[in-house]
Amino acid sequence: MTQPSDKALVPFVSVDHMMQLIHHIGIEPMLCGLADYIESDFKRWELFDKTPRVASHSAEGVIELMPTSDGEVYGFKYVNGHPKNTAEGLQTVTAFGLLADVASGYPVLLTEMTILTAMRTAATSAMVARHLAPKGADTMAMIGNGAQSEFQTLAMKAICGLKSVRLYDTDPAATAKCAANLANHGINVVSCASPEDAIEGAQILTTCTADKQYATILTDNMVGAGVHINAIGGDCPGKTELAPAILHRSDIFVEFPPQTRIEGEIQQLDPEHPVTELWKVISGTAKGRTSDRQITLFDSVGFAIEDFSALRYVRDQLPPTGLYHPLDLLADPDDPRDLFGMVHRAST
Amino acid sequence: MTQPSDKALVPFVSVDHMMQLIHHIGIEPMLCGLADYIESDFKRWELFDKTPRVASHSAEGVIELMPTSDGEVYGFKYVNGHPKNTAEGLQTVTAFGLLADVASGYPVLLTEMTILTAMRTAATSAMVARHLAPKGADTMAMIGNGAQSEFQTLAMKAICGLKSVRLYDTDPAATAKCAANLANHGINVVSCASPEDAIEGAQILTTCTADKQYATILTDNMVGAGVHINAIGGDCPGKTELAPAILHRSDIFVEFPPQTRIEGEIQQLDPEHPVTELWKVISGTAKGRTSDRQITLFDSVGFAIEDFSALRYVRDQLPPTGLYHPLDLLADPDDPRDLFGMVHRAST
């Protein structure tokens, strides 16, 4: 067998290498770095190729492909969402992603994205909160203490200066897990027995629950003036977390309206209900928070450009670390027209 | 570091392993096996989730995602098409693919598909020719002697009993390469100096050229009665190989009309021009060839279900061969809600 050339070998970041990369960079510096990459891509939002994700729904969940391109680099993520998986010891969400060179179509990076998606989702939430949360916000209610909760909390600490997090989950074991994981991270952690207790004194309310159904994690009377709501968990048709009355009292900010209208909290509203696109706030062409009393709501569903930013970040950080394997993914015959000859000679 | 569990490890078939698999099974038996899988999936066509491919076009080419699902298994292929790549020593088309379990969303196979796509395209062409070519067809004109040509020829031999192939390419070096590769494969190979010479006495006319432009590889007066045309190379908007007059004289068979209307030879015709869906011929609900004098045309563009069949075939053949690596692609914490804890413990 002949050795494949460099062009045929795609750097692959395994789960183990991704964990090593996070420790190599440091989790908070990496969250800040991801937020910077995401913010810079939101600023050049208009030049991206944007399509709603390509979803394949089944009774058990959904498998999605999320492609985008900035004209030079193409990226996509494979991601599933299967709420019942946890009962069988599997992840609700697993993901991997790929970057490719637009000029040649050749992939340049393949990476696990289960962990990276948690990192980019948290970095996006915190980057958005930096633009929308009331000045001096330093306390967050974290409702839903599952796989995303620690990442969300540390991103808010690193990027927005969060000092205190108030945890609540319908399952006290989830809260205990989250509190234990956040110990010794320089943040004050308060475990709460009710959602009402959790939101006490919080200027940022993050909801991140996983049921695939219409749920009401926050009721209207729980949400006072002058807060920022970071609604992470409602992200597919039929899955929401907020009472409609809260939406009517809020100024709503979204990633990509055609997708959020289908998947986000605003699926509960009239399709003409006004929303503001986040990229306009971040690039300075639309207003974000305009008063201390306003309720701002980030109706987060996750968009392909955020994954693209995360893939770019990993590609840029990776080379000096050596934290990847070269994967023999692409057939690369000496003569590109002689694919058959390459196969044939492999037998000898 | 703890070892990932079986659920986190996805079997990966590298280019080298794919070539070994082909030799392990034998190229002609593998082409026959692929044709059987593809034919069986065409017979249950109606139950598949079908969408036109998701394409990202640029000046240099296209990057596409081709997903489908039969309700139990989900598959997709990443594939690029960059005609100018060969000038830089790269493949025009590279591809990889993935199968996943619909019930959990977890991937179960990742594989190179540059070679596998050439194999499945050839198996599809031959399976279709078995249904549509005139009885006793044993001679093929192969116009375009690039990377697909040997695979097309051997599939027609293994599946349709082809005895003789007549090669033509605008570049004599391509023809010489193809003829050398096909020596000692039990088929009579004739190198021809013109397309008119190549089609002499051929009942099957295969066109497989790569220019991304409207081209006329076959002109009207070259095509007589009683032939089967296997048009492989026209497969994106603006790229065709046949004179429109030939289309008007032919009965046209296609994979998935909404895609072929955009990408195939029939993009040159009125959008209402009648075509027959191949799955109906294969499942016996539509007529294929009805007379010896008829011109049948397979306007091939390649469809996601053919890749799905090929992925299923590889998945089924793979386990006893050991021709794969387990890839650490999926994060798999002991407690699915404790992704952060897994990352955190990896530092110790």
Q: Are B93 and A336 in contact (CB under 8 A)?
A: no
* Residue A84 pLDDT: 87
Whether residues A329 and B82 touch (CB distance < 8 A) is answered with no
The CATH fold of domain B6-115+305-345: ornithine cyclodeaminase, domain 1 (3.30.1780)
ipTM score over 0.85, yes or no? yes
- Which pLDDT score is estimated for A88? 85
Q: What integer pLDDT is reported at residue B1 of this predicted model?
A: 43
Chain A contacts of B177, Cβ < 8 Å? 335, 337-338, 341
| In contact, A232 and A196? CB cutoff 8 Å | no
Token pair for B127: 């399976």
Amino acid (1-letter code) at residue A139? T
Kind plus residue range of the DSSP H or E element containing B229: strand B228-231
Is residue B104 within 8 A of residue B79, CB to CB? The reply is no
What percentage of chain B carries pLDDT values higher than 70? Answer: 96
Which of A235, A251, A292, A334 is catalytic? The answer is A235
Q: Which residues contact A323 (CB under 8 A, 6 or more apart)?
A: A13, A17, A18, A20, A21, A24
Query: Choosing from B235, B307, B328, B338, which is the catalytic residue?
Result: B235
What one-character-per-residue DSSP string does B285-312 give? SS-----TTPPEEEE----HHHHHHHHH
What pLDDT shows up at residue A214? 66
Do B6-115+305-345 and B125-302 agree at the fold level?
no
> Who's near A73: CB < 8 A, 6+ residues apart?
A99, A100, A101, A102, A108, A308, A312
Q: Which H or E element spans position B244? A: helix B244-249
Q: Closest CB to A23: pick one of B23, B150, B347.
A: B347
User: Residue type for A156, please?
Assistant: M
Tell me how close the Cα of A197 comes to any Cα of chain B, in angstroms: 23
> For chain A, how many helices (H) and strands (E)?
11, 18
Residue A320 CB-density burial (10 A; 0-12 exposed, 13-18 middle, 19+ buried): exposed
Pairing of strands A251-254, A95-101: unpaired
For CA atoms A222, A227, A230, A231, the dihedral sign is positive
**B337/A174 Cβ within 8 A:** yes
Kind of pairing between the strands at B107-112 and B95-101: antiparallel
- Report the 10 Å Cβ neighbour count for B347: 12
A114–B339 C-beta distance less than 8 A: yes
Distance of alpha carbon B58 from the chain centroid = 22
Q: Which residues of A touch B106 (CB under 8 A)?
A: 80, 90, 94
Distance CA A322, CA A318 (A): 7
d(CA B314, nearest CA chain A) in Å? 16
Amino acid of residue A69: S
Q: Cβ contacts of residue A95 below 8 Å, gap of 6+?
A: A77, A78, A79, A80, A112, A113, A114, A116, A117
| CB pair distance less than 8 Å for A56 and B71 | no
Q: Where are the domains of chain B?
A: 6-115+305-345, 125-302
CA distance A230 to A218: 12
- pLDDT per position as a tens digit, B243-263: 899 999 999 999 999 989 988
A244: Cα within 13 Å, side-chain hemisphere: 6
| CB contacts, 8 Å: B339 with chain A | 91, 114-115, 118, 147-148, 151
Residues of chain A positioned with their CB less than 8 A from the CB of B86: 336-337
Helix (H, G, I), strand (E, B) or coil at A20: helix
User: How far is the CA of B167 from the CAs of A190, B129, B156, B195, in angstroms?
Assistant: 76, 18, 14, 8
E-strand ranges in A144-275 read 164-168, 188-191, 204-207, 214-218, 228-231, 240-242, 251-254
Cβ distance A112 to B58 less than 8 Å, yes or no, reads no
For testing contact with chain B, the best of A24, A343, A348 (most B CBs within 10 A): A343
Domain A124-303, CATH among 3.30.499.10, 3.40.50.720, 1.10.287.110, 3.60.20.10:
3.40.50.720
Using 70 as the pLDDT threshold, list the residues of chain A that sit under it.
1-5, 210-214, 234-236, 348
Residue B76: count other Cβ atoms within 10 Å of its Cβ: 28
Q: Which residues of A touch B76 (CB under 8 A)?
A: 65, 78
Measured between CA atoms, the residue of chain A closest to residue B181 is A341
> Cβ of B340 and A147 within 8 Å?
yes
Q: How many alpha carbons lie under 13 Å from residue A67 in its C-beta half-sphere? A: 25
Q: What is the pLDDT of residues A86-95, one digit of tens each?
A: 888 888 889 9
Helix (H) or strand (E) segment spanning residue A258: helix A257-263
Provide the residue-wise pLDDT of chain B in tens; the chain has 348 residues.
445 667 789 999 999 999 999 999 999 999 999 999 999 999 999 999 887 788 899 999 999 999 999 999 999 999 998 988 888 888 888 999 999 999 999 999 999 999 999 999 999 999 999 999 999 999 999 999 999 999 999 999 999 999 999 999 999 999 999 999 999 999 999 999 999 999 999 999 999 986 656 677 888 889 999 999 999 986 667 778 888 999 999 999 999 999 899 889 999 999 999 999 999 999 999 999 999 999 999 999 999 999 999 999 999 999 999 999 999 999 888 888 899 999 998 886
- Share of chain A residues as helix, strand and coil, in percent rounded to the nearest 5: 40, 25, 35
Return d(Cα A105, Cα B78) in angstroms, integer: 10
Report the C-alpha gap between B166 and B168 in whole angstroms.
Answer: 7
Give the pLDDT score at A284: 95
Active site residue B6: no
Q: What is the pLDDT of residue B300?
A: 92
Cβ-proximal residues to A302 (8 Å cutoff; 6+ apart), any chain: A117, A121, A124, A235, A255
State the maximum Cα–Cα separation within chain B, in Å, rounded to a whole number: 75
Fold of B125-302: Rossmann fold (3.40.50)
Residue of B312, B263, B306, B261 lying closest to B282 (CA atoms): B306
Sole residue written with tokens 């395994």 = A14
Taking CB atoms and an 8 Å limit, are B104 and A85 in contact across chains? Answer: yes
CA dihedral A65, A126, A91, B54 (to 10 degrees): 0
Q: DSSP letter at A301?
A: -
